[in-house]
């Protein structure tokens, strides 16, 4: 088990290393960062000073090494660097210090704030949105999948399959625009929902208030695609399980149809569904980008799209690395969870 975890973590680190290298070189040549920091008013002397401060006067390979050192949880920094960049961690040494630290994702060109602070401020909105979408997709998807399998060959089965195919085929950003327009604009008088809004909004009198109703439309929109996948997986897995000998034995013992389905068939049919759910949750964190932008939902996706518009590369790079880390962690947890649910998949 320890060897399995070590291998997973090792490959996860390689994936993150690849993401950092690709993202670093991807944003080379998209404008001078020193000019983006200073705007159009900086003189040449000031620009050269900023370029030196950001390490832009060094060769590309040194810039990459410096960025890897910054974002790594284990790094080498001078005492001046630690104070200037406000790097948090445990360091040993005198002038040059080695230590375990919070990854330094640098500062936003626009707000001058640490990128990690911006991401952690936006993270709760994205996590709440992704969890709500996954909860909606899981409950409705498993229910429809079981119903479709039990009513195999009927109009309920055909309708569930047809609807799931539509959900898989339709692009999320298009569905988002349609749902926002219909339920947040045309039917606003009946639904009480709005086209845009965040989890918390400021009222001129009452201050910061929780607005759960703003979560409904983006969560449903984000959950449509995983819902469609879960319906298909649950239906297929249930049909396979319902044809097994032990199910016929359970019926022969006089168990009710409900007990057979709930206690015997469903638990054995959920293995591929659990894998899909954990995998889709990681994807929802990334897929929320456009949904957050459409519904003006304050989350990592919204600030990333805004940063792209403003060429705020540290925020974009930090966001991509942040999301990739979530992918790696959730995939490792999914493998552990899958082994816990199905003993046959455990690694001893």
105 and 119 Cβ atoms separated by less than 8 Å: yes
183 shares a domain with 53: no
163 shares a domain with 46: no
Domain residues for 314?
Answer: 115-345
331 shares a domain with 223: yes
What's the confidence (pLDDT) of residue 218?
92
What's the confidence (pLDDT) of residue 272?
75
What's the confidence (pLDDT) of residue 307?
85
129 shares a domain with 22: no
Report pLDDT digits (tens) over 17-46: 888 888 888 777 666 666 666 666 666 776
Measured distance CA(55)–CA(77) in Å, rounded? 14
DSSP state of 214: G
Secondary structure percentages of the chain, helix, strand, coil, to 5: 70, 5, 20
283 shares a domain with 227: yes
Which residue spans within the chain are E strands per DSSP? 74-78, 89-93, 96-101, 200-203, 207-210
Q: Which residues pair with 248 in a beta bridge?
A: none
Whose tokens are 């819902």? That residue is: 227
Of 51, 70, 101, at which residue does a domain stop? Answer: 101
What's the confidence (pLDDT) of residue 197?
84
202 shares a domain with 176: yes
Length of the chain counted residue by residue: 348
69 shares a domain with 128: no
Of 53, 76, 101, at which residue does a domain stop? Answer: 101
What's the confidence (pLDDT) of residue 16?
86
Residue 99, CA distances (Å) to 64, 79, 91, 139, 275 in order: 20, 12, 4, 45, 37
- Strands in 96-101's sheet, in edge-to-edge order, are 74-78, 96-101, 89-93
Phi-psi region of 29 (alpha: psi -120 to 50; beta: other; left: phi over 0): left
272 shares a domain with 180: yes
Radius of gyration for the alpha carbons in the chain, expressed in angstroms and rounded: 25
122 shares a domain with 85: no
Measured distance CA(141)–CA(121) in Å, rounded? 31
85 shares a domain with 162: no
232 shares a domain with 206: yes
Report pLDDT digits (tens) over 42-68: 667 766 766 676 667 777 888 888 888
Measured distance CA(158)–CA(62) in Å, rounded? 59
Residue 202, CA distances (Å) to 144, 289, 338 in order: 38, 23, 42
331 shares a domain with 257: yes
What's the confidence (pLDDT) of residue 346?
55
What's the confidence (pLDDT) of residue 345?
53
Q: Which residues of the chain have pLDDT under 70?
A: 1, 29-43, 46-47, 49-51, 53-55, 203, 206-207, 278-279, 281-282, 285-287, 337-348
CATH code, domain with 338: 1.10.3720.10
Give the total number of structural domains in the chain.
Answer: 2
What's the confidence (pLDDT) of residue 164?
82
């Amino acid at each position: 088990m320890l060897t399995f975890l070590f291998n997973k973590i090792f490959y996860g680190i390689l994936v993150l290393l690849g993401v950092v290298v690709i993202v670093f070189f991807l944003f080379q040549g998209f404008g001078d960062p020193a000019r983006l920091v200073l705007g159009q008013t900086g003189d040449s002397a000031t620009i050269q000073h900023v370029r030196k401060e950001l390490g832009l006067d060094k060769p590309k390979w040194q810039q990459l090494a410096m960025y890897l050192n910054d974002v790594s949880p284990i790094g080498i920094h001078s005492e001046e660097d630690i104070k200037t960049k406000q790097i948090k961690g445990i360091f040993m040494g005198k002038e040059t210090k080695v230590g375990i630290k919070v990854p330094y994702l640098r500062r936003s060109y626009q707000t001058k704030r640490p990128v990690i602070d911006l991401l952690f401020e936006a993270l709760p909105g994205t996590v709440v949105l992704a969890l709500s979408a996954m909860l909606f997709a899981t409950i409705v998807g498993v229910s429809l999948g079981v119903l479709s399998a039990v009513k195999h060959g009927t109009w309920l089965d055909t309708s569930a399959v047809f609807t799931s195919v539509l959900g898989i085929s339709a692009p999320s950003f298009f569905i988002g625009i349609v749902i926002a327009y219909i339920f947040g604009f045309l039917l606003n008088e009946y639904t009480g929902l709005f086209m845009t809004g965040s989890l918390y909004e400021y009222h001129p009198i009452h201050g910061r208030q929780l607005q759960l109703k703003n979560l409904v439309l983006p969560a449903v929109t984000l959950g449509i695609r995983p819902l469609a996948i879960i319906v298909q997986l649950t239906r297929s897995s249930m049909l396979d399980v319902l044809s097994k000998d032990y199910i016929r034995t359970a019926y022969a013992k006089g168990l009710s149809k409900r007990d057979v389905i709930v206690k015997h068939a469903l638990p054995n049919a959920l293995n591929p569904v659990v894998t899909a759910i954990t995998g889709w949750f990681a994807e929802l964190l990334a897929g929320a980008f456009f949904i957050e932008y459409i519904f003006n939902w304050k989350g990592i996706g919204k600030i990333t799209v805004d940063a792209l518009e403003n060429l705020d590369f540290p925020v974009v790079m930090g966001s991509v690395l942040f999301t990739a880390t979530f992918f790696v962690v959730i995939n490792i947890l999914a493998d552990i969870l899958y082994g816990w649910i199905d003993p046959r998949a455990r690694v001893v």
